């Protein structure tokens, strides 16, 4: 990776100074700024109008307390966040994450990434993110409902289909979206389906939304492989995680002829050299909400590795689909050494800067999250289109639109990298392509 251009270095130092302790946010900003040297040389107006300084400062940051009662009557206080980062291209769009690790720095990193990811989709959506340090794991449906209702009682005043449209993320699925939508409807007295995406199919949701991030990441990797005269056919693949993104990444890889042999959860790794039984994983994770280790009690030949490192298993395609910074420099080197030729990020920033450098130096096909996992938010925007038109599209039609969007993102990243003298570098291509579109809109809108 290039170093930060001297014209931009002071801006990065200011970000560090203004946002102390927010290491994930610092990492996300640095990854983008490292790519912008040639851009500001070509477009000096971005420096004159302080576009980079403005893009690194959220338009609005909302922090609030969320009081709720558990089933025993005990009162709990969590903290809620919504960072409305940039609305140059459209209403703020980005998920809500419920996880104990959530704090302002995590939300800002995710929101900053979302600006460029949403820009790359080519759809009219700005960037934002939100969530809470609430942990839904082990909580009853009633407890989750009470928390979601309390959370939305504060957040609703900041939302609207033309203002800010949240979706799900880690810890927020169809159940949580349903409870939050119900509370929004109750408070506002408006059935406004376009205010939340990831809704149930019977009340305004979109077909393919559940599958979108995993399918989209796989489509993107397929395009990277095609660009190298290759394909998924016969490839051994690893997919970390076993949530929504991982499950549908595995499904699409299998459809395209690849074989996934391992996935994981926070407790360990399951390795099935015959190929993962996706129906069983769906039953364990989507229906019974059990741990991935239970896979081995059904398929005795499979190996469960407690607290294992999935990236030590040899593969040709790796798709990190769990959480940030799950692949470090050592893991990346192991993957390359074991014959990995392509990496597609289904999660947000799952590779550390050291790991990214290893992949780029090895010149393997590496698709960064802001490009590779944009399929989720792209399909959220398609859900907004259906809501605005009081319409509902077929699965096949929606999936084809998603595939076309991912092919277009790949083309734009590929061509931009080529234009800026770094052919095959999707990190540089994605960052520059996403940035320029937002920057031009900010210039057009004046000093706001």
- Active-site amino acid positions: 129
Q: Are β-strands 303-306 and 75-86 bridged in parallel, bridged antiparallel, or unpaired?
A: unpaired
Q: Of 91, 135, 95, which is closest to residue 111 (Cα–Cα)?
A: 95
* 3-class SS of residue 408: helix
Q: What's the gap between Cα 415 and its chain centre? A: 23
**Which contacts qualify for 329-337: CB closer than 8 Å, 24 or more apart?**
329/354, 329/355, 329/357, 329/358, 331/355, 332/356, 332/358, 332/359, 333/358, 335/311, 336/362, 336/364
263 pairs with which residues across the strands? 270
Cross-sheet strand order for the sheet of 60-69:
60-69, 75-86, 126-132, 92-98, 164-168
SS3 of residue 96 by DSSP: strand
- Find, among 249, 215, 248, the residue nearest to 399 by Cα: 215
- Positive or negative, the Cα torsion across 89, 91, 94, 99? positive
Is there a contact between 24 and 109 (Cβ–Cβ < 8 Å)?
yes
Q: Enter the DSSP assignment of 341.
A: -
Q: Distance between CA atoms of 181 and 197, rounded to whole angstroms? A: 9
Beta strands 259-265; 60-69: pairing state:
unpaired
Please enumerate in sequence order all residues whose Cβ is within 8 A of that of 306, keeping only pairs 6 or more positions apart, or say none.
267, 268, 293
């Amino acid at each position: 990776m290039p170093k930060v251009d001297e014209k931009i270095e002071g801006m990065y130092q200011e970000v560090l100074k203004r946002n102390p302790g927010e290491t994930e946010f610092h990492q996300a900003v640095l990854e983008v700024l490292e790519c912008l040297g040639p851009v500001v040389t070509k477009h000096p107006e971005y420096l004159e109008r302080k576009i980079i300084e403005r893009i690194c400062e959220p338009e609005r940051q909302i922090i609030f307390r969320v009081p709720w009662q558990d089933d025993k009557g005990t009162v709990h206080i969590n903290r809620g966040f919504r960072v409305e980062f940039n609305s140059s291209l459209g209403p703020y769009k980005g998920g809500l994450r419920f996880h104990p690790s959530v704090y302002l720095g995590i939300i800002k990193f995710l929101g900053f990434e979302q600006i460029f990811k949403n820009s790359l989709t080519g759809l009219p959506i700005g960037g934002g993110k939100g969530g809470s340090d609430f942990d839904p794991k082990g909580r009853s449906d009633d407890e989750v409902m009470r928390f979601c209702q309390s959370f939305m009682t504060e957040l609703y005043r900041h939302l609207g289909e033309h203002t800010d449209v949240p979706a799900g993320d880690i810890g927020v699925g169809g159940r949580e979206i349903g409870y939050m939508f119900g509370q929004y409807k109750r408070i506002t007295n408006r059935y406004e389906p376009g205010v939340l995406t990831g809704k149930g199919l019977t009340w305004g949701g979109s077909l393919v939304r559940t599958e979108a991030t995993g399918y989209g990441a796989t489509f993107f990797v397929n395009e990277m492989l095609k660009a190298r005269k290759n394909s998924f056919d016969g490839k051994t693949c690893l997919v970390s995680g076993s949530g929504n993104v991982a499950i549908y990444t595995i499904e699409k890889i299998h459809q395209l002829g690849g074989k996934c042999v391992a996935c994981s959860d926070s407790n360990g790794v399951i390795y099935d050299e015959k190929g993962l039984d996706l129906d069983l994983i769906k039953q364990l994770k989507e229906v019974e909400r059990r741990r991935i280790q239970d896979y081995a009690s059904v398929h005795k030949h499979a190996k469960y590795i407690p607290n294992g490192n999935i990236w030590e298993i040899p593969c040709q395609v790796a798709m990190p689909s769990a959480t940030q910074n799950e692949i470090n420099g050592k893991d990346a080197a192991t993957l390359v050494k074991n014959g990995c030729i392509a990496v597609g990020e289904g999660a947000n920033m799952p590779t550390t800067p050291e790991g990214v450098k290893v992949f780029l130096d090895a010149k393997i096909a590496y698709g960064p999250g802001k490009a590779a996992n944009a399929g989720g938010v792209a399909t959220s925007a398609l859900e907004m289109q259906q809501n605005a038109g009081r319409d509902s599209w077929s699965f096949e039609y929606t999936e084809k639109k998603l595939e076309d969007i991912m092919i277009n993102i790949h083309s734009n990243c590929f061509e931009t990298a080529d234009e800026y003298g770094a052919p095959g570098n999707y990190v540089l291509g994605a960052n520059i392509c996403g940035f320029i579109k937002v920057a031009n809109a900010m210039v057009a809108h004046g000093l706001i």
